Amino acid sequence: MPETRISNTLSTQAQQAKQQFGIVGNAPALTAAIERAIRVAPIDLSVLVAAADDTVMICGESGTGKEFFPQIIHRFSARRHAKYIAVNCGAIPEGTIDSELFGHEKGAFTGAVDSRKGYFEEADGGTIFLDEVAELPLTTQARLLRVLESGEYLRVGSSTVQKTNIRVVAATNVDLLDAVAHGKFREDLFYRLSTIQIHIPPLRDRGNDIRLLARKFASDFAERYRVPPISFAEEADDAMRHYRWPGNVRQLKNVVEQTALFEAGTEVNADALHRYIPEISTSYMPAKTASLHSYESEREMLLGMIFKLRERIDELQMRLDGEIPAVPMSHKIISDEENASMPTSLVVRSHGTPEVHMAPCSEVNYSEVEPEVPATLEETEREMIRRALERNQGRRKAAASELRISERTLYRKIKDYGLE
């Protein structure tokens, strides 16, 4: 029975991989993913000019443990004695990603004081794991496609073609088909990477593995922090099993760590566990999409920045004219006795440049700012007076103080603008 022997061998190797890499769990979907990784590990598909291995795409939600699978593939492949390099594509700035992956020549850019090998050159003959591959810029995706198809690449700043014999294992928690549809990921690269796909099950689909992982983490943290270990009541097990765990194993580990510290030596029930787990109704809410985006908050923020800038410009102008001492305007107290030194208008024209006196930012409620920005300075002045009166319930003295003008000027402006 050759098939039976193969199945038994895969099962044995899967258990070995779990022990070697500290993978806890017996969920069928998890075991199937490990066995699939072991099955494809030794296979060299000579479909490339450079006779490199086929690429493997690992898909799964964030926190599911995708980083273990390329290590399993490398460990059970013929390349296990060569280098294994893991690269988080989302953690490298866009401006340096090409240099990091493919290397650069001396003088290729500012700061390139010497030639440097990239990861593809360093890992030649081995395996490179590209985590969060969907975060790669489109220009870098084109370079990666060339490596996958021909094993060739160029260092940044070089015209000499380099060759590499490397196995690429990529992982993502993004729907790449959706990314392709939105022009964020190259379609040809997607099909090149997805020759072999391994899907990692989310924690919520692993059943009893949640309980096993929680107890493993609880024991580890008790030993690390030298505190009495915790135990979980049956109701706590049920609560964990029915929670959706949007952060998967990473989130479970974080929750158990907090519980192990603050509930040390106790049996944790559902109520105690609830203090460390977000509400299910709020933890799995869909994120707002770009199509629902509102520019109201951005508009208010920009208006606030303009108000603040105008206030600072006006303060500097008044200091240059000797009208106020060199103290922050927010500390200046306005009184009727200072009428002579106060500007007679909110709009002050100095050297032909109109400037607007604004209230301090701390006193302005930007949530009240309407989307339409007045077209002229006079309209701006009128709108500011109207809002100041509204905020101060019609008290003109308070409004004049807020606007930093005299009451006499405010009365005249109210009459001029028909705000009576």
**Residues 139, 375: Cα–Cα separation, whole Å:** 42
pLDDT at 324: 54
**Residues 412, 420: Cα–Cα separation, whole Å:** 10
Which amino acid, 316?
L
Backbone angles phi, psi at 94, to 5 degrees: -60, -35
- Sorted by where each begins, the domain ranges of the chain are 2-105+115-201, 204-282, 296-416
pLDDT at 161: 94
**Residues 383, 373: Cα–Cα separation, whole Å:** 10
Q: What is the CATH number of domain 204-282?
A: 1.10.8.60
Q: Mention every residue, 6+ apart, whose C-beta is less than 8 A from residue 235.
A: 269, 270
pLDDT at 180: 94
Q: Mention every residue, 6+ apart, whose C-beta is less than 8 A from residue 159.
A: none
pLDDT at 403: 81
pLDDT at 44: 55
Q: Mention every residue, 6+ apart, whose C-beta is less than 8 A from residue 67.
A: 86, 129, 131, 171
Q: Is there a contact between 58 and 70 (Cβ–Cβ < 8 Å)? A: yes
For 5, 7, 8, 10, 118, the CA distances from 1, given in Å and listed in that order, are: 6, 10, 11, 14, 47
pLDDT at 110: 84
**And the tokens for 163?**
């060759």
pLDDT at 136: 95
Backbone angles phi, psi at 197, to 5 degrees: -115, 140
Among candidate residues 417, 396, 415, 384, the one with its CA nearest the CA of residue 336: 396
Q: Which residue has the tokens 């500007």?
A: 343
Q: Long-range CB contacts (< 8 A, 24+ apart) of 215-223?
A: 216/24, 217/252, 217/253, 217/256, 217/257, 217/260, 218/256, 218/259, 218/260, 221/256, 221/257, 221/260, 221/261, 222/260, 222/264
Please calculate the CA angle 189-193-198 and round it to the nearest 5 degrees.
Answer: 150
Please give the chain's pLDDT, 420 residues, in tens: 555 666 778 888 999 999 999 999 999 999 999 999 898 888 754 222 222 345 667 788 888 888 899 999 999 999 999 999 999 999 999 889 999 999 999 988 888 889 999 999 999 999 999 999 999 999 999 999 999 889 999 999 999 999 999 888 888 888 888 999 999 999 999 888 877 888 899 999 999 999 999 999 999 999 999 999 999 999 999 999 999 999 999 999 999 999 999 999 999 999 999 999 876 444 443 333 333 344 445 555 555 566 666 667 777 777 777 655 544 444 444 444 444 444 444 444 444 444 444 444 444 454 444 445 445 667 777 888 888 888 888 888 888 888 878 888 888 888 888 887
**And the tokens for 124?**
């030649």
2-105+115-201: CATH topology is: Rossmann fold (3.40.50)
DSSP string, 194-260: TTEEEEPPPGGGSTTHHHHHHHHHHHHHHHHHT-PPPEE-HHHHHHHHHS--TTHHHHHHHHHHHHH
pLDDT at 227: 93
**Residues 378, 235: Cα–Cα separation, whole Å:** 68
Running DSSP on this structure, what letter comes out for residue 75?
Answer: H
Q: Is 92 helix (H, G, I), strand (E, B) or coil?
A: coil
Q: Is there a contact between 243 and 277 (Cβ–Cβ < 8 Å)? A: yes
